[in-house]
Structure 1
């Protein structure tokens, strides 16, 4: 403890000496002290902030966390009630069955919390969007937890105050670190401390051990994403690959010409090959397929050598896919494939 107070006393002397020159700066280097605006302090902040990124696949914002309980609807379907983080899996199960982009609607009013643990009541979708756009985004670390209570000794250059503080939870500690950052402060843990790393308690006796613990975290700890849809073109490829479809509707310039293709089964194979089988005559045909995703549009390019399928030769816009069907469109030409 004497060492700590000696360090802080040195801080004060150095800061007072800075009055002699506008160009004077304090260079701090101590075995166990941490600069509040340094890289290690930033990691500690990320490990103690409110975990607002965990539900990004639901609210599409890392600046807010939707507080339980609340209700949501996927693609205007039935409402699902979420009461804990375990219920996230209910939503993930639904999203995994959707091939296309999804939309989520909330039952308002609801409560959200921010990175700094502040809670706000939200009454409309517009209100939620405004909050998400204005608040600080999250970059949390999700597999290390400090064991509380914690005690630190700190010093701030802005007001020349040295103090010892004890914290009983993450919210208190996170917000105090933010305060130290704003005041160009330094702090030291009162060792030993304990951290929970992936459900295993680790005892830490000094700054070097703390730095090593963060350095050894798995990369996934820095990306707390429970569910992240694959790119739309990959989703669509997985949806059609090695699957057989029949055309249940085909409209050419407003004319219904479904019957011209009602006996054909289309199977999309590896290597961009389409195997076509006439269910009535048992004749086989082939074609080629390719998926492109440019400027936000998803396209399925079809190419057939047989003139029977000449009307299908085109670069088709994929309007929708999922629920065992996909819809293609090119101007006034629209047709629907359904899994057979």
Structure 2
């Protein structure tokens, strides 16, 4: 028995010595004095690892206004009056598209609160007002995330506690785990990474990292904002691969049909061609870099290809579609050009063109505005609306002028009219007009619009030629004669086949007499002519005939579009109903 007991005690002593030896080896696995192998809570590498694993908040700054938080989707916003439901960060492009509709307007974004934000440590908070959100933005420390480097998990860390001299192994499987692990690291803990590890860079490539220095160098020098060059390279590859077709071209009107049947190719040597099988147009292209990359196109001076000779801003570019826009340096109007892989066989959208012609000819008045079932038409009494071909608009009353913008868009088979008027806040009625309205009816006398409100009801908006809503029906020729004979007039607008030739009449004051004669005087000469107002069918007809040198507007087929005590607009339509000429007199 004594022998067995001795053997038993000896075995215990040996095991104890062996265990002490293993513990020592474990504690020596991390050399806390070796800065090349270890990471401490306040070290540069620890901070870089935190920034790489934290929740990135910079991709949605257009919504929350700071890079320290991330919006939790879905979230509803109102961009320039248009309600948009964002299901993911990719939908932010919808906001930008709305902001791109008008070149010179003031873009506004309202958030429908409450929303949930995810902080950089992945905790979530509810925000109930813009004031709360602004406070969070003010508190953002600007410690931006390194969002263009992704770790390949899992990663093993050895953790050595200098106080109790214990070593443990922690296996990390996600950014959340890594951030919380590093954030909660104690000052008396030293960690070491079990190299090699792998990271994925912005271009999708995978890189092996073998030690602390390599990892610190990579994270400290990576530029998460340099993806523009890669994207432009991808765009050039898509542009120069295969064939493209113009599926949309808008220059004041829809002119897509001008390029029907033409196949476009762009070569790597910056040459380009457009051919329809019998005619080939040579051109060039060039991609300019900068804060706003642009595609410079040149296809010569012949119509209609000279309309493409611009520096086009890239709105969207994929392997299947290229959407471009150009802001005119002259009148500030916006042209749009879209290339796709399959041709558009529909030609011009005549419905859109007729709407634009009617909208931009003469003045309009709101005769109905119904919001959530409430009739609020009287908010716009006394305002005369004018929509200009460059996309700008005005609403003028006796004591106020409200400026704004408009655009026409197509969504599948629907035509939408988008407004963005300046306003002073929530109580301003012009804020209620800012939306994308579906066109229900559009004639030369009436434009009826509809929009589904947040409550599910249809808001209604109607423009007509007369404030009282009679649309100019039951014309009275004597009323117009009396108006023209009162005072003197000047030509405010003369469009001949769409070309502005108003300057021909600059300086001339017109006097219409009861004998149906008219004189125009510019201070140095008097020009004589005749004028006749009659009823043809159900419309007022105007015959106008002046002597040289101001006989450019002479015609006997003018129809009276609208008239008031201070303004009269005449138009001539072609056989298809399109407006060819416009002549507007305004009272001095």
TM-score class, shorter-chain normalisation, is 0.5 to 0.7
> What SS does the aligned partner of 2:58 have?
coil
Of 179, 192, 197 in structure 1, the residue corresponding to residue 196 of structure 2 is 192
Contact 1:143 1:221 in 2 (8 A): no
- Once the two structures are superposed, what CA deviation does each residue of 1:7-52 show, in whole Å capped at 9, x if it has no partner? 64x64xxxxxxxxxxxxxxxx4333222332222222211110011
CA displacement at 1:141 relative to structure 2: 1.3
Contact 2:146 2:219 in 1 (8 A): no
Q: How many residues align?
A: 239
- Once the two structures are superposed, what CA deviation does each residue of 1:264-316 show, in whole Å capped at 9, x if it has no partner? 99xxxxxxxxxxx9723288xxxxxxxxxxxxxxxxxxxxxxxxxxxxxxxxx
Matches within 5 A, 1:48-197: 48-75=53-80, 77-98=81-102, 99-134=104-139, 136-155=141-160, 162-180=167-185, 183=187, 185-197=189-201
CA displacement at 1:65 relative to structure 2: 0.9
Q: Corresponding residue for 1:242?
A: 330
Of 272, 279, 301 in structure 1, the residue corresponding to residue 502 of structure 2 is 279
CA displacement at 1:105 relative to structure 2: 1.4
Over the aligned positions, Cα root-mean-square deviation in angstroms equals: 4.1
Contact 1:192 1:206 in 2 (8 A): yes
Of 27, 47, 57 in structure 2, the residue corresponding to residue 5 of structure 1 is 27
Scaled by the length of structure 1, the TM-score of the pair is 0.57
- Stretches of structure 2 that go unaligned for 5 or more consecutive residues are 1-21, 229-290, 293-325, 334-387, 402-488, 507-588
For 1:192 and 1:61, the matched residues in 2 are separated by: 35
For 2:332 and 2:59, the matched residues in 1 are separated by: 37
> What SS does the aligned partner of 1:87 have?
helix
For 2:88 and 2:39, the matched residues in 1 are separated by: 36
- Alpha carbons of structure 1 residues 254 and 144: separation in structure 2 relative to 1, 3 Å: same
Scaled by the length of structure 2, the TM-score of the pair is 0.35
Contact 1:140 1:222 in 2 (8 A): no
Matches within 5 A, 1:8-47: 8=30, 11=32, 28-47=33-52
Of 212, 218, 228 in structure 1, the residue corresponding to residue 223 of structure 2 is 218
- Once the two structures are overlaid, the 10-residue window that deviates more, 104-113 or 184-193, is 184-193
- Stretches of structure 1 that go unaligned for 5 or more consecutive residues are 12-27, 224-228, 231-237, 266-276, 284-340
- Alpha carbons of structure 1 residues 161 and 125: separation in structure 2 relative to 1, 3 Å: farther
